[in-house]
Amino acid sequence: MIIDQKKAKKILLEGGNVIIPTETVYGLAGSINCPNSIETIYRLKNRPKQNPLIIHFANLKQVLECVEDVPESFYRLAKFFWPGPLTMVLQGRNNLNHAITAGLKTVAVRIPAHLETLKLIEETGPLVAPSANISGRPSSTKIKHIENDFGKNFPILEGTEPICGLESTIIGWIDNKWVFLRHGVISLQEIERFLGENINHSDLQICPGTKFRHYSPEAKIFYSNEMFFKADAIVGYENRSYLSKKPFYSLGRDDDPKKIAYRLFDLFRRFDEDCLKNVWIDIKLPNEGLYITIIERILKASYTDSSNFESNVL
Ligand code: AMP
Ligand code: MG
């Protein structure tokens, strides 16, 4: 159910939940000052309690009320990438609700690039907002995805649909250096180029959420040559030929990673609508930029073991 700014503000300040659009995916929001609404987010999503939440802010002043001991490079990154799809994990202030941080000393923060949502957060104050989907399922990028997971009556703030279709990139300021925590809309190379230094991947302990299985449709996703012949449908790129009579689902052209990213989760959900059991996806994509995020999302969603991700990237 689409609601306006005024109604959304009222629900959030009274401790309720509203789904908000962002430029990445839809988020299931609650106020950081309402423990009940945070509790409800974990329950509605069936999200593991050890998986902390990202706080969304309208401006830098709000951010600085929740974090401390930030490096000078934080301000530079914020100025360049915000509002936008970069999440930074920083030292959190002591007064933050433990349910947000899963008891960690760090907190994940971001200013989304979305007009209506920024306007709302200016009024309500910071909002936690994990993706608006049941945990483990693909993130919601369209209203119908939300309705599918939470029903037609769940309040959704009016505003432009997400334009990226994938989640934010996460980096963390840990032990006085930046580490890479999650692939996302902004590529690792872009951040490295901006900072003028290499950033290492962190181990899983720091970013608990990355260890959970994610983004999966009910259909089983495969990418091995062998499964090409066994799957019910082929997912690939319209400028490649697959020599198969099976139903074909297009991710767009292979030279348009933004479109591939935008279509991916919507396609995942269509597999289920179309009652597919086994789907083969072409993951032969360049090992660079946004393609790396796309491949990582497919591997995380796929039925086969994704632990050897790097070696599967072509
Ligand atoms: P999402 O599920 O897209 O809302 O992203 C949340 C992810 O951000 C979590 O799964 C963690 O990996 C990461 N994250 C959130 N809060 C923290 C934190 N305090 N410290 C480290 N990582 C965090
Ligand atoms: Mg999510």
Query: Euclidean distance between the first and final Cα of the chain, in Å?
Result: 43
Q: What is the dihedral of CA 35, 40, 46, 49, to 10 degrees?
A: 10
Nearest protein CA to atom 21 of ligand 1, as residue: 207
pTM for this predicted structure: 0.92
Q: Enter the CATH code of domain 2-201.
A: 3.90.870.10
Nearest protein CA to atom 1 of ligand 1, as residue: 130
pLDDT on residue 237:
98
At residue 287, what is the residue type? N
Q: Which ligand lies nearest the alpha carbon of 134?
A: 2
Other CB atoms within 10 A of residue 247 CB: 13
Tokens of 140: 């919601």
Other CB atoms within 10 A of residue 20 CB: 26
Tokens of 250: 């297009």
105 Cβ partners below 8 Å, 6+ apart?
91, 92
Measured distance CA(259)–CA(311) in Å, rounded: 25
Cα–ligand 1 centroid distance for 170 (angstroms) = 8
Question: Domain map of the chain by residue range?
Answer: 2-201, 220-312
pLDDT on residue 218:
86
Q: 90 pairs with which residues across the strands? A: 107
Cα–ligand 1 centroid distance for 257 (angstroms) = 24
pLDDT on residue 304:
62
Measured distance CA(287)–CA(90) in Å, rounded: 29
Pocket test for ligand 1, best of 168, 207, 212, 293 (most atoms within 8 A of CB): 207
Q: Which ligand lies nearest the alpha carbon of 138?
A: 2
Cα–ligand 1 centroid distance for 88 (angstroms) = 9
Q: Which ligand lies nearest the alpha carbon of 98?
A: 1
Pick from 123, 132, 138: nearest CA to 156:
132
Cα–ligand 1 centroid distance for 65 (angstroms) = 19
Domain 220-312 top-level CATH class:
alpha beta
28 Cβ partners below 8 Å, 6+ apart?
17, 19, 41, 44, 45, 129, 130, 131, 132, 150
Give me the residues of the chain with pLDDT under 50, please: 305-314
Residues with CB under 6 A from ligand 1: 51-54, 89, 101, 104, 106-108, 130-131, 167, 170, 206-210
Cα–ligand 2 centroid distance for 3 (angstroms) = 23
Angle of helix 188-195 relative to helix 72-81, nearest 10 degrees, comes to 130
Pocket test for ligand 1, best of 20, 22, 89 (most atoms within 8 A of CB): 89
Cα–ligand 1 centroid distance for 213 (angstroms) = 14
pLDDT on residue 225:
87
At residue 56, what is the residue type? H
Cα–ligand 2 centroid distance for 131 (angstroms) = 4
Nearest protein CA to atom 22 of ligand 1, as residue: 207
Q: 29 pairs with which residues across the strands? A: 18
Backbone dihedral region of 159: left (phi > 0), alpha (psi from -120 to 50 degrees) or beta?
Answer: left
Exposed / middle / buried, residue 213 (Cβ in 10 Å: 0-12, 13-18, 19+): exposed
pLDDT tens-digit series, residues 134-190:
998 899 999 999 999 999 999 999 999 999 999 999 999 999 999 999 999 999 999
Judge whether 269 and 132 are in contact, CB under 8 Å: no
Q: Which ligand lies nearest the alpha carbon of 139?
A: 2
